[in-house]
Amino acid sequence: MSFHVCFVCTGNICRSPMAESVFRARIEEAGLESLVEVDSAGTGGWHEGDGADPRAVAVLEANGYGGAHTARQFHAEWFSRLDLVIALDSGHLRALRRLAPTPADADKVRLLRSYDPAATPDHDLDVPDPYYGDMDGFEECLEMVEAASDGLLAAVRDQVEGQAA
Catalytic residue among 6, 14, 15, 110: 15
113 has catalytic annotation: no
129 has catalytic annotation: yes
110 secondary structure, DSSP code: E
- The amino acid that residue 76 corresponds to is A
Coil vs helix vs strand at 31: coil
Determine the Cα angle at 103 with ends 42 and 154, to 5°.
Answer: 65
- Residues near 33 by beta carbon (within 8 Å), at least 6 away in sequence: 24, 27
55 has catalytic annotation: no
Catalytic residue among 50, 72, 97, 129: 129
Catalytic residue among 9, 24, 55, 113: 9
- Residues near 16 by beta carbon (within 8 Å), at least 6 away in sequence: 7, 8, 9, 40, 41, 42, 88
Rounded to whole angstroms, what are the CA distances from 85 to 10, 55, 63, 132, 133?
Answer: 14, 24, 25, 25, 26
Report the catalytic residues. 9, 15, 129
